[in-house]
Amino acid sequence: MTVKLHDVLDNNIDILPERFERKFYLESRKVGLAYGLLRHLCLSASDYPSEQINSLYFDTTDLEQFERSASGDYHKDKVRIRWYGEGGDMIGMWPAFIELKSRRGFTSTKQRLKLYVPATNLNSANLTRGILPRTLLMDTLARFSHFTGDILHPVIKISYWRYRFTEIMTGQRVSLDCRIRSTLIMPGLGNVKKELELPGGIIEIKGLVMELPETLRRMRMLYIDWTRFSKYSACVDSHNDEPGSVGSLSPSGRITRCNQP
């Protein structure tokens, strides 16, 4: 089914304000404890307390954005199409979002545009087509004032389960992401299996100030540190790793590579 601009676009661009985003990597054995702790320290989000999130990431042929993310570049942008829900639930026309996430140092912003696409376009077998016509993607990025001289290609699909919370005193958004799975889409990329699941999880805290509220400082009992973990970078790394290993999940190199049986 062909996706036409006038059929699918909600012309209102959502722009999330600049915010501090802090991420904490969790080893597998700590994910359950972290979930219990966050339920104790925070309120479950009133809207969508838990759901599966899926993202198709786009990049240039030489993976320019991946290289920027992996190297910790001050200026980083990620282009993706995001949708929510599991495959068996998706029929007919399904909501999706073209997103541009921009990070400048410790702060990030996000612009996104909602549209509707045939659910069949979101099947992994069809993702090599990019879900949308390339002209529609590029026209939308231009509306975001984001321009690239190189063609963008679908690289990898990343899916994970997210639990959402709200910190009681400040209202800061907190999430716990786990069951992080990735599927390679770009032909010729990777040395191992097309599909992988990364061990562990990620706590993300998003707010208008850098300092953590007092309640969330109790997370120190998990013995976790703030990291610049990127799902996109970590998943691409995992697929590029030598056969038999998952890859380094900590940008600082403090997490030991996990060997698969």
Please give the average per-residue pLDDT across 206-214, as a whole number.
87
> In this structure, what is the dihedral angle of CA atoms 167, 163, 239, 260, given to the nearest 10 degrees?
110
Q: Alpha helices, DSSP H only, in the chain?
A: 5-8, 31-41, 64-70, 134-143, 231-240
Both tokens of residue 6?
Answer: 């006038």
pLDDT in tens, 120-173: 999 988 999 999 999 999 999 999 999 988 899 999 999 999 999 999 988 899
Cβ-in-10-Å burial (0-12, 13-18, 19+) of 179 comes to: middle
Which phi and psi angles does 159 have, rounded to 5°?
Answer: -125, 145
Cβ-in-10-Å burial (0-12, 13-18, 19+) of 146 comes to: middle
CATH of the structural domain 5-240, one choice from 2.40.50.140, 3.10.129.10, 2.30.30.110, 2.40.320.10:
2.40.320.10
pLDDT in tens, 168-192: 988 899 999 999 999 999 988 877 6
Q: For residue 203, is pLDDT > 50?
A: yes
What length is written for the chain? 261
